């Protein structure tokens, strides 16, 4: 079996007065196809965010980005590129990290990094590590692959996000 095709993450969704940076690992195949963060309908990321901030859910990507801006949230991935044969984080090989420290210098109001999965946190710890003055919070993956928790159980953890923005 040959090497898998190299894939690249999206540019960060950033806002000047952002307080929180949410980091995933790498966009799924469907997200890359749609060119949208968390574009796979099996991933409940957006439904959770709308629920956390008590707003009516919208499937329109611009509305999702507006939700981020209203709540001063930046969205990005720990990894800039990797090789992967499926959307599973466990299939990631030959990864390269994004310049997260550079982003934090450019957006100094960010004081909290939230990881949307354990794997995102593991890659962050491997390539970046602790950053002075920035608190870290790891939340349960909103991915459909994380079937051991119900939506309500995941949402209970994601409610912590409200205290960070």
Q: Give residue 154's domain range.
A: 6-163
Q: What is the mean pLDDT of residues 55-70?
A: 97
Which positions are catalytic?
Answer: 43
User: Does residue 104 fall inside a structural domain?
Assistant: yes
Distances 64 to 26, 121, 128, 153 between C-alpha atoms, Å: 19, 23, 28, 22
CA nearest to 45, candidates 13, 18, 17, 15 = 13
pLDDT tens digits for range 99-137: 999 999 999 999 999 999 999 999 999 999 989 999 999
pLDDT per position as a tens digit, 40-62? 888 999 999 999 999 999 999 99
Mean of per-residue pLDDT scores for the chain: 92
Inform me whether the pLDDT recorded for 3 exceeds 60. no
Contact 85, 26 (CB under 8 A): no
Domain annotation covers residue 131: yes
Instruction: Please indicate, yes or no, if residue 96 is contained in any of the structural domains.
Output: yes
pLDDT in tens, 137-158: 999 999 877 778 899 999 999 9
Q: Is 1 part of any domain? A: no
pLDDT in tens, 17-31: 999 999 999 998 899
In the chain, % of residues over pLDDT 90 = 77
**Is 79 within a domain?**
yes
User: Domain tally for the chain?
Assistant: 1
The CATH number linked to 12 is 3.40.470.10
pLDDT of residue 4: 65
Integer Cα distance of 28 and 145 in angstroms: 11
Torsion sign, CA atoms 140, 146, 151, 152: negative
Token pair of 119 as six digits = 């794997």
């Amino acid at each position: 079996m040959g090497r898998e095709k190299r894939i690249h993450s999206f540019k960060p969704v950033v806002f000047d007065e952002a307080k929180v940076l949410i980091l995933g690992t790498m966009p799924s195949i469907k997200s890359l196809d749609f060119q949208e963060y968390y574009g796979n309908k099996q991933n409940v990321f957006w439904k959770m965010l709308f629920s956390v901030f008590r707003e009516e859910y919208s499937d329109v990507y611009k509305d999702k980005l507006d939700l981020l801006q209203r709540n001063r949230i930046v969205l990005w991935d720990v990894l800039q590129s990797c090789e992967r044969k499926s959307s599973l984080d466990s299939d990631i090989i030959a990864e390269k990290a994004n310049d997260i420290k550079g982003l934090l210098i450019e957006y100094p109001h960010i004081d909290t990094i939230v990881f949307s999965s354990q794997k995102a946190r593991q890659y962050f710890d491997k390539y970046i590590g602790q950053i002075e003055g920035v608190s870290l919070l790891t939340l349960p993956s909103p991915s459909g692959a994380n079937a051991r928790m119900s939506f309500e159980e995941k949402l209970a953890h994601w409610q912590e996000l409200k205290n960070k923005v």
